[in-house]
Structure 1
Amino acid sequence: MLLLFSSPTFADDKIYEGHYTYGDEVSIFKACGKDKVYWLAVSGFVFSDVKVLALASDEPYMPVYLKFRGHEHFEEVDGYQAKYDFQIHVSEVKKFSKKIPVFCK
């Protein structure tokens, strides 16, 4: 697990942890123990190592564990992002791992 760089902090930031899936036209997050799936909006330098890990799987679209600080972002979107209730903007990656912890399955 790694600690990465962060972007500016927002007043409504909170900690999220769960399953992140990345791939061609996919950037989705499902919190541990929750049913909703959200589009994850990320900036390159904050998130590049997480994307590399997510793409390194033997199978495409395999989720990785992700713990991050971020906030809900209500912006009018189209395309693949429009399928989700809203976006979560990532401010800081706290931890990520190919192995999803038992408590988060």
Structure 2
Amino acid sequence: MIIVALFAMVFSAQAYGEHPGVEFYGSYVWGHEVNIFQPCGIDAEFWVLADPPVLEELRQYHDEHTEELYQEIYIRFMGSRVYDEVDGFAADYDGLIEVYEILRMSTEFPDECP
């Protein structure tokens, strides 16, 4: 059910760079033992995976543009769900999502993502 809902919000399914992926949008939260994405309109949270430069870009933007711990930012990115078994902090969430390329980050959320 979550998988169907998650992909219902996809704008496009296309090859993007080296990775096939789809466009996701929603909130991202970074902090101590927290690295999560929640798609707009879906009551599920996913642990974020990414190559080190992409994670650094997310974390740096988050640190520079938020004033409170665990404050949400809006992100749009090309990525995909990961269906590996999880452990550690990621096991507390609804699954894994991998970010290939960040398309947009903002502290303001658009109307499509209340």
- Settle same-fold status: TM greater than 0.5: yes
**1:102 aligned counterpart, secondary structure:** coil
Change (3 A) 1:7 1:27: farther
Measured in 1, the distance between the counterparts of 2:109 and 2:55 equals 18
Alignment counterpart, residue 87 of structure 2, candidates 78, 83, 94: 78
1:45 aligns with 2:53: yes
How much identity, in percent, do the aligned residues show?
31
Measured in 2, the distance between the counterparts of 1:98 and 1:62 equals 9
Q: How many residues align?
A: 98
Read off the aligned partner of 2:77 and give its amino acid letter: F
- Deviations along 1:71-98, one digit per CA (max 9) or x if unpaired, are 1111222111011221011111111112
Measured in 1, the distance between the counterparts of 2:95 and 2:57 equals 24
Point out where structure 1 has 5 or more consecutive residues left out of the alignment: 1-5
Point out where structure 2 has 5 or more consecutive residues left out of the alignment: 1-15
Higher relative contact order (CA 8 A, sep 6+): 1
Measured in 1, the distance between the counterparts of 2:99 and 2:47 equals 11
Moved over 4 A (4+): none
Alignment counterpart, residue 68 of structure 1, candidates 77, 84, 102: 77
Q: What is the TM-score normalised by the length of structure 2?
A: 0.77
- Deviations along 1:19-73, one digit per CA (max 9) or x if unpaired, are 0001111111111111111111122212322211212321100010000011111
1:21 aligns with 2:9: no
